[in-house]
């Protein structure tokens, strides 16, 4: 039996608990034993992006020491996974602890990559025919490079038609602390993203990033649109169980 650590992310534990439970369900459906460390904390990306490198290193080293056994560290977020697998190396590049951090970072993998590339899952789509569109979040696209794996899982669902966005790779305006520091610019970017979504005619927006979904979903709600944002791992579980969205 395969055994993995599961890193739930701040947003997952604070605002998207059902998504975390569904992510765990996807692993258990494949017979994977999941180790959940109760004392896990932030990946340190917000502080890292804000220039607090000393504090970020302290948080990062806490994570390195917490997930100490040599199991894969599965993360249901390309953003957090990218921070832990790539940006930690930048953070510690001239530090005596670099090799220890490198050993940790090499074990980090985004959930869809683990399901697609390691387990090569076989999914039976029990849902009705549906048309969706997809948003690629920036960190997953450019750092963790997990978007192909995200989409490969969707392609396994025979009754799902994926309509591409014209500007799929453009930022939605969330950007972590960016949406707080530059709310006007962030809102303009979100509205531009929503117009692109509307143009597809799809009634469901799927993404593997909770922050983007909260940002885009909130914008669509304020605009009074009948388009539902849904996290990839919630979407997959509902399709596998034949539940309505």
Tell me: do 83 and 149 sit in the same domain: no
Nearest to 231 by CA among 5, 26, 20, 40: 20
Q: What is the pLDDT of residue 12?
A: 85
Co-location of 190 and 222 in the same domain:
yes
Residue among 196, 128, 116, 183 at smallest CA distance from 155: 116
Of 118, 145, 172, which residue is a domain's last? 118
**36 and 108 part of one domain:** yes
Residue 186 pLDDT: 79
Show pLDDT as tens, one digit a residue, over the chain (245 residues): 899 999 999 988 888 999 999 999 999 999 999 999 999 999 999 999 889 999 999 999 999 999 999 999 999 999 999 999 999 999 999 999 999 999 999 999 999 999 999 999 999 999 999 999 999 999 899 999 999 999 999 999 999 999 999 999 999 877 767 766 777 887 788 898 999 999 999 999 999 999 899 889 999 999 999 999 999 999 999 999 999 88
Going across the sheet that includes 204-207, the strands are 160-163, 130-134, 204-207, 228-231
Instruction: Give the separation between CA 180 and CA 35, rounded to whole angstroms.
Output: 34
- Which of 118, 142, 159 is a domain's end point? 118
The answer to whether the beta carbons of residues 156 and 227 sit under 8 Å apart is no
Which of the listed residues 86, 118, 150 is the one where a domain comes to its end? 118
Asked whether residue 193 falls in the same domain as residue 108, the answer is no
What is residue 172's predicted lDDT score, i.e. its pLDDT? 85
Both 138 and 179 in one domain: the answer is yes
What is the number of domains present in the chain? 2
Same domain, 136 and 32: no
Residues 89 and 19 in one domain: yes
Q: Which residues pair with 134 in a beta bridge?
A: 206
* Co-location of 100 and 192 in the same domain: no
- Give a yes or no: residue 123 inside a domain: no
Pair (146, 208) in one structural domain: yes
pLDDT at 111: 98
CB contact set of 83 (below 8 Å; sequence gap of 6+): 43, 44, 45, 48, 139, 143
3-state secondary structure of 176: coil
Enter the tokens of residue 96.
């005596």
Residue 97 and residue 140 in one domain: no
Q: Which residue do the tokens 């459906």 mark? A: 29
CATH number at residue 218: 1.20.1050.140
Range of the structural domain that residue 152 is part of: 130-241
Q: Are residues 167 and 232 in the same domain?
A: yes
């Amino acid at each position: 039996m395969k055994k993995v650590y599961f890193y739930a992310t701040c947003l997952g534990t604070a605002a998207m608990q059902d998504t975390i439970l569904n992510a765990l369900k996807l692993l258990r459906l494949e017979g994977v034993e999941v180790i959940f460390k109760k004392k896990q904390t932030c990946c340190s990306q917000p502080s890292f992006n804000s220039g607090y490198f000393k504090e970020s290193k302290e948080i990062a080293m806490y994570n390195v020491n917490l997930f100490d056994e040599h199991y894969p560290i599965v993360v249901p977020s390309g953003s957090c996974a990218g921070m832990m697998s790539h940006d930690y190396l930048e953070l510690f590049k001239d530090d005596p602890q670099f090799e220890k951090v490198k050993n940790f970072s090499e074990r980090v993998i985004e959930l869809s990559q683990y399901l697609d590339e390691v387990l090569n899952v076989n999914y039976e789509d029990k849902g009705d025919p549906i048309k969706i569109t997809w948003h690629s979040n920036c960190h997953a696209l450019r750092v963790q490079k997990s978007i192909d794996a995200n989409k490969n899982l969707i392609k396994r669902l025979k009754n799902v038609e994926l309509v591409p966005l014209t500007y799929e790779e453009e930022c939605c305006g969330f950007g972590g602390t960016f949406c707080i520091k530059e709310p006007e610019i962030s809102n303009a970017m979100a509205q531009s993203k929503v117009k692109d979504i509307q143009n597809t005619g799809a009634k469901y927006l799927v993404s593997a990033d909770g922050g983007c979904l909260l940002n885009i979903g909130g914008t669509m709600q304020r605009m009074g649109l009948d388009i539902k944002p849904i996290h990839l791992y919630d979407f997959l579980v509902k399709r596998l169980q034949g539940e309505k969205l």
